[in-house]
Structure 1
Amino acid sequence: MLGMQLVQEQRVRLSITPEMKQSIHVLTLSSQDLARYLQDAASDNPVLEIEETTARVARLPARLNRGGGSSSYDPLLQVRGAEPTLEQLLASQIRVLALSARRRAIAIYLAGCVNDEGYLTVDLTEVTSLLGISMDTAMAGLDVLQSLDPAGVGARSLCECLLLQIKRDPSAAPYAEQMVEAGLEALVPFHPGRAGTRLAITSQQAQKAYDYISSLNPKPCRSIGSKEYPHYIIPDVVVAVRNGVTCIRLCSAGIPRVSINEEYAHWFRDPSTDESWLARTAEARAIIRSVYLRRGTLIRVVAAVLEEQERFMSEGPSGLKSLSMTAIADKIGMHESTVSRAVHGKYVQTPHGVFELKAFFTSGIATTQGDQMSASAVKLRLKALIATERADRPFSDSALATLLQKEGIILSRRTVAKYREELQILSSLERKRWG
């Protein structure tokens, strides 16, 4: 017979409080995102006060000394304003030409039909019907557009774009125009012997023409008047070497300092203070604690990473060794997920350049000495080997795997091909040069 009864039992359960969720969220934010988050929090909470701050310096034990110094320099103040669009640049060139009003208007109309890469996106038959002009008049306007800078603008196809650049270049390689007119499909993959036979020229002449064509820009206007805004990286941590000691400091430029507004402080000690103000005060204090926890956690993680990647400071990326977040978590006594959140979206400025903090965590490649080498270091060595090859006898993927094995790096041919493609290096057949 079924019945109901009350049972009391003890159970251990992990629950996340709102303050813990907020602390986790703050830890994942980059410096720029944190500045925006604090600005929004201060606008919603009058108890929370923000003020300007200078870069804070953190000290590290042993070899990783926590250096001094501060700076209030804000790199965002050096960002350039918006540049003119491609259409505006082309129209400004057309207006200074000695043209009739009708021809100028048609050329400016066509300039507005050019995409970000410099190609004309409208058919001339459509232009004739829209503007009520003849095809000869439309072609005359197109000639004006294609005479502008940069060379190749206004092209309707890749072939026409290359031909426009070749015709305007007085130092163009011989037979380059004939090679493009013969068809671009014959250039990939390229064989100078077959190309020379087809054009009745020598292999050396075909190779020179091919090299010249490869140097042309297939998207001549890609970097002009782009609608995409440039992406500026402000590092979260700055690492420098001073007198042989590694110094680490948090880059706090642009991040406001947060505190409790003093004008409201006397209210908090009054027993008659409204509970809503006490809640706002608790919220502000939680935000301040989260910010300080973020700083401490980030410094500990970066310090541990640099202690493990000690060779990086002297040798650069080639000195990186395999490293996992689990190893760093065990080293500093934190959970692996905490390390992952601290690393997410953070950048480090080093003497060798600005690197994403995730770049210091790489997989390992086995060596004949029994240790492991980072994948990034292997890629750098692979790139260096390809740079030493002969132009007429480039290394195949199998040959590269053999050379790396002689240096103690065990890689299969497929892995070599994978790393070569990630480095955007062509295959041996496409790298080969004749003559």
Structure 2
Amino acid sequence: MKQGLSLRVSQHLALTPQLQQSIRLLQLSTLELGQEIQQMLDDNPFLEVNIEEGPEEFGVAQADTRPAADEHESDPVAQAANGHDSSSSASDSSASSASDSDGDASDGDSSEPNWDGDGSTETVPDDGEWGGEAPARKSQGDDDDVDATELARGNESLQSWLHRQALALRLGEEDRAALRYLVESLNDDGYLEEPLEALAASLAPQDLEQQEELVHRFTVALRLLQSLDPPGVGARNLAECLMLQLRSLQQDAPDDEVYPVAIRVCSQPIDLLARRDVKRLAQLTGETEPRVKGAIALITRLEPKPGRRFVDVERNIIVPDVLVTKAGRSSRASFRVQLNPDVVPRLRVHDVYAGALKAHRGEGHQALQQRLQEARWFIKNIQQRFDTILRVSSAIVERQHNFFVHGELAMRPLVLREIADELGLHESTISRVTTAKYMSTPFGTFELKYFFGSALGTETGGNASSTAVRALIKQFVAAENAKKPLSDSQISEMLKEQGIECARRTVAKYREALRIAPANLRKEL
């Protein structure tokens, strides 16, 4: 083989570290972003939280006047996809760092882009600040009178609540240990999923005699556990949970005949109770159908998950990223779209450290200069993230104007491509922005993805949003006769009367997505 030199031209996609960070920050949720910022504050000494008061109209836009930011600058994906000279950006960054080492660019007075209320960028003499600090959470335990429900809503778990009750029981050391082991084996719903034999085998895998003794102690401890509050805790299945609650209620009304009937109903196959098969249950229990109906009515008022109220509900709290408020009263009123100041961090470069870096150049100067540049890029990427969120939210509000006036029945079909083409962003950027980001509206708080839905054909040749169709199905079910609930076929025919072509299978899919039970389970006795 003969060796030689050749010249070849090729293109390749290169993502700078700054661009990679911008894409990663864009897809983070509010909670994840807070963790990322805290990690950066711990690692980078040039980054600090600005506690000074910021401009009042910061991060505000009208739905019909969206921020006119540079399309390529606010879309990191478009930068890479359109060949945004990433290599030159990296070289420019390196050149900027080198020039900062030689000249004036490393001091705290270097110009940084700052974003005002209408989305335009301006140059300010400060290193920049962004957003506002979230207010400190109120401490718990301020109220003196706290019942079990309040404790469940606070920090106390189901296990802790049961351990406190067990302290009042006079038990030996081994029985107390067995009860504690069972309490710690409960799931979040308050059920004991593992059989007693399996629990005993896990403690004494080789000794069969010790396993038998442990099963005996666990059996005694289980009866004690099931006598604690809340009623139904420690059950192995739903039927046992319901019977434990019925026996607890029967102690307050021993003469009421409905409780024995309800207990016998729960002892039958649970699928009969789920189907509300009154005739079959009456035959199995030997009771009359009216008494069985009364027992079923009582059972439906019980709690199938005793530990539900002790589940930490704070992890399900949603803090909206965008706030939408109505600016007028007419049907064509504009809406005010602004970022939630509680989720927008306020960051800036530490002026003292930046000034000290400029004045003293010694060993490690280049490494510190790189950390200073990282802090500036991080602030800029945070600004770009919230700028993109506001632009996308404003476009959504404009497209879904009827929703913000009339509700979800007025939702129109919308796909990511429409918003991407309107804003000049990449479709994947819109997907990242609308994931795990929430908007507070006059009708509640919704994820940004909620405003996107597929289209269903209508008799007039137009399109109806799948979100509006689901809302219409929910409305039909809410207004139905409880004794004669609507089937999926009937709902499909009602939608056709409204001019919406929706097959029965599609109705069933939407009904299941709305967590609406089938017609036979919605039927009341």
Q: CA deviation at 1:430?
A: 2.3
Q: CA deviation at 1:52?
A: 3.1
Query: Structure 1 pair 280/155, CA: closer, same or farther in 2 (3 Å)?
Result: closer
Helix, strand or coil: the match of 1:83? coil
AA paired with 2:22?
S
Helix, strand or coil: the match of 1:230? helix
The match for 1:179 is: 265
Q: Is the aligned partner of 1:86 residue 2:158?
A: yes
Equivalent residue runs for 1:21-420 within 5 Å: 21-52=20-51, 57-61=58-62, 63=64, 74=134, 77-78=137-138, 83-96=155-168, 100-102=170-172, 106=175, 109-114=178-183, 115-116=186-187, 117-120=189-192, 121=194, 123=196, 129=210, 142-169=222-249, 170=253, 173=258, 175-224=261-310, 226=311, 230-244=315-329, 245-253=334-342, 255-266=344-355, 274-420=365-511
Query: Structure 1 pair 74/196, CA: closer, same or farther in 2 (3 Å)?
Result: same
- Aligned CA RMSD, in angstroms, stands at 3.5
AA paired with 1:387?
A
Helix, strand or coil: the match of 2:460? coil
Query: 8 Å contact 1:395–1:428 — kept in the other structure?
Result: yes
Q: Deviations over 1:347-371 (max 9, x none)?
A: 1122222111111111122222222
Helix, strand or coil: the match of 1:113? helix
Q: CA deviation at 1:51?
A: 2.0
Q: CA deviation at 1:248?
A: 1.7
The separation in 2 between residues aligned to 1:326 and 1:165, in whole angstroms, is 53
The match for 2:518 is: 427
Query: Structure 1 pair 94/420, CA: closer, same or farther in 2 (3 Å)?
Result: same
Query: 8 Å contact 1:94–1:108 — kept in the other structure?
Result: no
Q: CA deviation at 1:372?
A: 1.9
The separation in 2 between residues aligned to 1:56 and 1:39, in whole angstroms, is 26
The separation in 2 between residues aligned to 1:17 and 1:73, in whole angstroms, is 30
Q: Deviations over 1:136-159 (max 9, x none)?
A: x87665444333221122334433
Q: CA deviation at 1:17?
A: 1.7
The separation in 2 between residues aligned to 1:45 and 1:182, in whole angstroms, is 65
Q: Deviations over 1:34-71 (max 9, x none)?
A: 33323322332222333236686334357469998x99
The separation in 2 between residues aligned to 1:138 and 1:426, in whole angstroms, is 38
Query: Structure 1 pair 65/331, CA: closer, same or farther in 2 (3 Å)?
Result: closer
The separation in 1 between residues aligned to 2:215 and 2:384, in whole angstroms, is 71
Q: CA deviation at 1:418?
A: 1.2
Q: Deviations over 1:287-317 (max 9, x none)?
A: 2221221222111111111100101211223
The separation in 1 between residues aligned to 2:360 and 2:245, in whole angstroms, is 80
Query: Structure 1 pair 172/36, CA: closer, same or farther in 2 (3 Å)?
Result: farther
Query: Structure 1 pair 357/38, CA: closer, same or farther in 2 (3 Å)?
Result: same
Helix, strand or coil: the match of 1:74? coil
Normalised by the length of structure 1, the TM-score is 0.85
Q: Deviations over 1:246-270 (max 9, x none)?
A: 1122123254422222224445666
AA paired with 1:162?
L
Query: 8 Å contact 2:131–2:345 — kept in the other structure?
Result: no
Normalised by the length of structure 2, the TM-score is 0.71
Helix, strand or coil: the match of 2:308? coil
Query: 8 Å contact 2:132–2:345 — kept in the other structure?
Result: no
Query: 8 Å contact 1:111–1:145 — kept in the other structure?
Result: no
Structure 1 residues without counterparts, runs of 5 or longer? none
The separation in 2 between residues aligned to 1:294 and 1:18, in whole angstroms, is 16
Query: Structure 1 pair 347/209, CA: closer, same or farther in 2 (3 Å)?
Result: same
Q: CA deviation at 1:415?
A: 0.8
Q: Deviations over 1:227-254 (max 9, x none)?
A: 7863332221111123444112212325
AA paired with 1:191?
D
Q: Deviations over 1:6-47 (max 9, x none)?
A: 333544444222221122122222333233323322332222
User: After the TM superposition, which of the residue ranges 325-334 and 34-43 deviates more from structure 2?
Assistant: 34-43
AA paired with 2:34?
A
The separation in 1 between residues aligned to 2:460 and 2:294, in whole angstroms, is 45
Query: 8 Å contact 1:236–1:250 — kept in the other structure?
Result: yes
Helix, strand or coil: the match of 2:231? coil
Q: Deviations over 1:199-221 (max 9, x none)?
A: 34343332332232233223212
User: After the TM superposition, which of the residue ranges 52-61 and 309-318 deviates more from structure 2?
Assistant: 52-61
Q: CA deviation at 1:222?
A: 3.4
Query: Structure 1 pair 276/365, CA: closer, same or farther in 2 (3 Å)?
Result: same
Query: Structure 1 pair 218/75, CA: closer, same or farther in 2 (3 Å)?
Result: farther
Q: Deviations over 1:65-118 (max 9, x none)?
A: 9998x9967366147586233233223334446xx444x973673254031333
Query: Structure 1 pair 271/130, CA: closer, same or farther in 2 (3 Å)?
Result: closer
Helix, strand or coil: the match of 2:182? coil
The separation in 2 between residues aligned to 1:24 and 1:256, in whole angstroms, is 18
